[in-house]
Structure 1
Amino acid sequence: MDIDVARVPRREPGMTAYEVVLSESQERMLALVAPEREAEVREICRRWGVEAAVIGRVTDDGLFRVREEGRVVAEVSVEVLTRGAPTYTPPAHLPPPPVVDPAAVADPRDRHEAGAALRRLLASPAIASKAWVYSQFDHMVQTNTVLRPGSGDAAVVRVPGSRQAIAAAVDGNGRYTALDPRRGAALAVAEAARNVSCVGGRPLGLTNCLNFGNPEHPEVYGQLSAAVDGLAEACRELGIPVVGGNVSLYNETGGRDIDPTPVVGVVGVLEDPSRLAVNHFTDPGQVILLLGPPRGFLGGSEYLKRVHGCVAGPLAPIDWEMERRVQELVRRAVADGTVRVAHDLAEGGLAVALSEMCFGGGSPAPGVPPAGAVLGAEVDLPSGWVHGCRVDELLFGEAPSRVLLATDPDGARLLAERASAWEVPCTAIGRVIREPRLRLRIGGRLWLDEPVGGLLRVWEEAIPCALATGG
């Protein structure tokens, strides 16, 4: 590569070639463009008001050459900068994580205890409404936002001049990764991709921010190494390339390393933004279907932490074939209009997901009514599901490859047929009702009977209240 730093746009005059090449700056990107498409790229940059300049050419001599107004100021072998660069592998150690003792975790005894657990989960910062945050920013820039925050599992933004739209989701779970770095990182990729699929998007690429403690500590380097392996595994399994990212190391609080927290962002495309899915019920009478395995796991769950004060594994396993099938099935159902409501089961499991789907997309800002109708749900899980399984695993357990869908009876029958052909579990578990109340039974026994308005209030007020009180 042969570049001339004199051609690089800069914010300050008088910068040396050394400073231009090595300084860091935001909002900059280097692009390799075929010569015959240079004019096309320049026109795109002009249309969006982005400064662009040709600073050099790709060469075949194996050298990275830097010029300043034509004068060579640096020249080094690309081999030395890449394969020949010095590397080292610090010592790594991964201590075994704590494992949950089911006997020490009390299962809810009745609907009162189950309801109290649900309210505590809805107040958790990981689950509660984030409207207090996003309402302070212009999330409708240039009016190209198709799905406002809270209305879908992923953001959907219109692409001006195109019939397509972009879907984007960000996910990460430090608790998961602290318990099992490889699987925790893989689960973050799976959930971000699933969220994009839930609005109807086809995942195309991934970026990441790897937040870890001091890599000179063997435990931290072990976490980092295993998490990278988990990210790579998930990206290979789902066919999603990593197109960028960054690493933040040496993060400590009070001399203690932070939980390893790989955060991943997945971007996908919607071919037709008029065909997308929201994450809340839209019409009474809709059939509610659970796509994927019925059972969740307590290991690493928000329920285990918030209700029982315990952080322990093991995490739920990942069946990559099932994950691929579930996501593809959802994408196709959204694309052909069979489904207009889809929400993945994440932190808090089934009970939290059902609650969120009753909230009408939540309020766009504190004190503002939800944009959609606040509805209720009448749910009855098969009695066979509880055989060999705890009630809290069904209600609050967490696992990948699970999505709640809502559609009309004809769509529900079509989905069941497709799911059967794809060997994906698909169970009609209830229906949407006009009365704003969440009732959930297991084999006929009532386990939840909560007014949606009360649940919504807990969910919406948790973060503003915590910030106001410093808690």
Structure 2
Amino acid sequence: MTDNIIQAPSTEGVDTVGRAAESPDVVQPWAQLGLKEEEYARIREILGRRPTSAELAMYSVMWSEHCSYKSSKVHLRRFGDLPAETPIGKQLAGIGENAGVVDIGQGWAVTFKIESHNHPSYIEPHQGAATGVGGIVRDIMAMGARPIAVMDPLRFGALDHPDTLRVLPGVVAGIGGYGNCLGLPNIGGEVVFDECYQGNPLVNALCVGALRHEDLHLAKATGVGNKVVLFGAKTGGDGIGGVSVLASETFDSAGPTKRPSVQVGDPFAEKVLIECCLDLYRAGVVEGIQDLGGAGLSCATSELASAGDGGMTIELDTVPLRDASLRPEEILMSESQERMMAVVAPDQLEEFLAITDRWDVEATVLGEVTDGTHLLISWHGETIVDVPPRSVAHDGPVYERPMQRPAYLDALQADSALGLTRPSTPAELREQLLQVLASPNICDKSWITDQYDRYVRGNTSLAMPDDAGVVRVDESTGLGVALSTDCNARFAQLDPYAGAQLALAEAYRNVATTGALPVAVSDCLNFGSPEDAGVMWQFSQAVDGIVDGCRAFGVPVTGGNVSFYNQTGATAIHPTPVLSVLGVLEDVARRTPSGWSTGGLYLFQLGATREEFDGSEWAGVVHDHLGGTPPRVDLAAERALADVLVQGARDGVLAAAHDLSQGGLAVALMEGVLRHGIGARISLSDNVFTDLFSESAARAVVAVAPEHADALASLCDEHGVEMSAIGVTAAEIDGLQIEGVDSMTLEELRRAHTDTLPAVFG
């Protein structure tokens, strides 16, 4: 495919800057590269001539939606109004860097980020997902950190659709295979099934890393005369056009056809690269560093130069290649994996190369930082790129796309779930409880998560199916972090503003249930085509929801990702703003698990329950219904609940804590019983159905030893959090006994919960 995209203007040789100036009328394939006519005209205006083929390749990938954020930038600027500091310290790096970095105390910092690899994972599930993990890990490496854990929020089409059987196993194998080979624990994520993702699965990947403050590195090329070094794997033909042709365009109904655009990963090469980078950082021989992911060398060279002193020269013909037939344009566009680019002082170059040689990592000096203002790239002595680097990396087009509230929304919101038929007998309640427990989005996901190593490196304190993953950062003090990723796209489809806030609130709440103080946010905003006014309205509303929510919580957004064009033909996915919240634990030994492990504990519900079923699992599973308005958002109540959960963990009050979200109290109780096989006896209000299936926000169920019940009551009273006694745990009870509901044995619960995925995937 790539041979048809970029062609030299003549057969006489490479398209040089001199030849471009002498042949202004050569027809160039700007449209095939994803550029608009006005964008191509602007490139010619910037350069004062037509671009060379190499320059056209660079602008096309760097001005793509995936790299330039040209449709989202005007909205993302609103994140700049958020707090510059976290509740416990400062940001050391924020939006615009490879990943956000926050202070967590004791001289430690953590860096974390979440990104998408959606379209490649539909085209080639295994490699698409694997290289998504590899790319986000390199972003963390580029900040000077050691990666310590990964997470994977995933969304697929209907569970019973044949294409889900094609896509899901490959995605899971790619994530597990790459992460396991790197020796990184996978500590959490989500797996959601919905018809809206048929043909557009979402494969989002998160990585978190740890570093000392003094080890922070940034992506900039400073210091005239400093050398530019490419190190890692050789450059091949995989991934060419990935960000411009694949990730920045809508699929048509014909399905996956763009196979040449998917990268190919080698996790063992990346593992060696990680250790090599950490050695380079320890030796103090790196002035600036950038990973090579989307847009490859085009991105690394232009972004380093743009963020630095402004000038750089590169000899492209010195790039080590896996395929000697690659043309200069293809080398610049290649997204081959496991590559990094460093800026190194001349007097440190020998030591730098000695370290890379010790790790058997190929390293090549490509050029140097200059006192000029342009990025100059040559090919066998001929200049093929002469551009202002900011024009490529940072000053691309910015669009204020038309926005319009979708016409279907009024009818959708009017179609409330309040009128749906409810169960009227204890037997019907029992039947629907088990039906929800066995549904694809609630059922046990161990068929997937058992393919991931959750405990490698020995620092994992909590992992799925707990509400959030917890990993230790400092072995001497127990300092650690908790992470959760969340989004209920059903809520966002009904109201993108409230849906985004509910996603943020759920991730915030999940982190707090572990006892960690939430301090920072990263986002992965998955939407349909930005050329659709309705999609852009959804996007703008979601951004506003996140900004207002983060302001109320007092936490910054440190970075993230926007993924547009997630639709097939005219059918877009539900808006899916995935939010990741990072929390800090002073000692991971005090973390709170989600499930109770002993009998004789008191169970309390924290927070208020209302008649809120619109977008709920009960409405979707039992009635195949989506309509109405999402649960009410009360950010003050969320923050108060988090204060109780965090302080309760610090004081040793809580034996277990589980947030109430999808499936409501019903699912939390059933999961609590199943976690360690300890039964429970439950007594609720006269409105048992509402108590069980409502998905009101700002709620959690906690298990407390009898001697700590008064302390919990005092905490709730102090923070204004409603507290209701709902039952006790009992080892002698076989399963779950709820007053007004026919009993369910442990075996019945387990069979309903665990049989769903194996029945499909074997």
In which range does the TM-score fall when normalised by the shorter chain?
0.7 to 0.9
Give me the whole-angstrom Cα distance separating, in 2, the residues matched to 1:61 and 1:301: 46
Structure 1 residues 408, 216: closer, same or farther in 2, change over 3 A?
same
Q: TM-score, normalised by structure 2?
A: 0.52
Which residue matches 2:405?
Answer: 94
Report which of the two has the higher share of helix: 2
Which residue matches 2:364?
Answer: none
Residue 66 (1) aligns with residue 66 (2):
no
Select 1:12's aligned residue among 234, 254, 259.
234
Residue 154 (1) aligns with residue 387 (2):
no
Which residue matches 2:684?
Answer: 381
The amino acid across from 1:6 in the alignment is: V
Q: Contact 2:484–2:582 (CA<8 Å) still a contact in 1?
A: yes
Which residue matches 2:361?
Answer: none
Residue 286 (1) aligns with residue 580 (2):
no
Residue 133 (1) aligns with residue 448 (2):
yes
Question: How far does residue 454 in structure 1 lie from its aligned partner after superposition?
Answer: 0.7
Which residue matches 2:535?
Answer: 220
Per-residue deviation, residues 306-355 of structure 1 (Å, max 9, x unmatched): 11111012111111111100011101101111102000001011111111
Residue 328 (1) aligns with residue 653 (2):
no
Q: Contact 1:5–1:66 (CA<8 Å) still a contact in 2?
A: no
Residue 501 of structure 2 aligns to a residue in which SS? helix
Give me the whole-angstrom Cα distance separating, in 1, the residues matched to 2:605 and 2:280: 45
Gaps of 5+ in 1: 28-41, 361-371
Which residue matches 1:417?
Answer: 714
Give me the whole-angstrom Cα distance separating, in 1, the residues matched to 2:529 and 2:755: 36
Give me the whole-angstrom Cα distance separating, in 2, the residues matched to 1:215 and 1:58: 28
Give me the whole-angstrom Cα distance separating, in 2, the residues matched to 1:358 and 1:424: 25
Question: How far does residue 115 in structure 1 lie from its aligned partner after superposition?
Answer: 1.0
Residue 465 (1) aligns with residue 723 (2):
no
Per-residue deviation, residues 32-71 of structure 1 (Å, max 9, x unmatched): xxxxxxxxxx999339999972138999999644343244
Question: How far does residue 184 in structure 1 lie from its aligned partner after superposition?
Answer: 0.5
Q: Contact 1:62–1:77 (CA<8 Å) still a contact in 2?
A: no
Give me the whole-angstrom Cα distance separating, in 1, the residues matched to 2:369 and 2:694: 64
Q: Contact 1:2–1:58 (CA<8 Å) still a contact in 2?
A: yes
Residue 450 of structure 1 aligns to a residue in which SS? coil
Q: Contact 1:174–1:260 (CA<8 Å) still a contact in 2?
A: yes
Structure 1 residues 454, 6: closer, same or farther in 2, change over 3 A?
same
Give me the whole-angstrom Cα distance separating, in 1, the residues matched to 2:285 and 2:569: 44
Q: Contact 1:8–1:55 (CA<8 Å) still a contact in 2?
A: no
Q: Contact 1:285–1:431 (CA<8 Å) still a contact in 2?
A: yes
Give me the whole-angstrom Cα distance separating, in 2, the residues matched to 1:460 and 1:330: 29
The amino acid across from 2:756 in the alignment is: A
Bigger radius of gyration among the two: 2
Residue 395 (1) aligns with residue 692 (2):
yes
Question: How far does residue 253 in structure 1 lie from its aligned partner after superposition?
Answer: 3.5
The amino acid across from 2:618 in the alignment is: Y
Residue 600 of structure 2 aligns to a residue in which SS? coil
Gaps of 5+ in 2: 1-219, 245-261, 266-274, 290-302, 314-366, 376-386
Residue 454 (1) aligns with residue 748 (2):
yes
Residue 449 of structure 1 aligns to a residue in which SS? coil
Question: How far does residue 294 in structure 1 lie from its aligned partner after superposition?
Answer: 2.6
**RMSD of equivalent CA atoms:** 3.3
Residue 295 of structure 1 aligns to a residue in which SS? coil
Residue 359 of structure 1 aligns to a residue in which SS? helix
Question: How far does residue 127 in structure 1 lie from its aligned partner after superposition?
Answer: 1.1
Residue 232 (1) aligns with residue 531 (2):
no
Select 1:428's aligned residue among 687, 703, 725.
725
Which residue matches 1:194?
Answer: 509
Give me the whole-angstrom Cα distance separating, in 2, the residues matched to 1:50 and 1:355: 52
Structure 1 residues 51, 145: closer, same or farther in 2, change over 3 A?
farther
Which residue matches 2:580?
Answer: 265
The amino acid across from 1:155 in the alignment is: G
Give me the whole-angstrom Cα distance separating, in 2, the residues matched to 1:204 and 1:284: 34
Give me the whole-angstrom Cα distance separating, in 2, the residues matched to 1:177 and 1:247: 16
Equivalenced residue count is 424
Give me the whole-angstrom Cα distance separating, in 2, the residues matched to 1:173 and 1:26: 31
Per-residue deviation, residues 160-198 of structure 1 (Å, max 9, x unmatched): 444212211111111111111111011111111111110
Structure 1 residues 403, 14: closer, same or farther in 2, change over 3 A?
closer
2-11 or 189-198, which deviates more:
2-11
Question: How far does residue 79 in structure 1 lie from its aligned partner after superposition?
Answer: 10
Which residue matches 1:369?
Answer: none
Which residue matches 1:54?
Answer: 287
Q: Relative contact order (C-alpha < 8 Å, sep 6+): which is higher?
A: 1
400-409 or 87-96, which deviates more:
87-96
Structure 1 residues 335, 90: closer, same or farther in 2, change over 3 A?
same
Correspondence 1:439-450 to 2 at 5 A: 439-441=737-739, 446-450=740-744
Residue 454 of structure 2 aligns to a residue in which SS? coil
The amino acid across from 1:467 in the alignment is: F
Per-residue deviation, residues 358-416 of structure 1 (Å, max 9, x unmatched): 112xxxxxxxxxxx3x0111111234xx3xxxx43321110211000001112112111
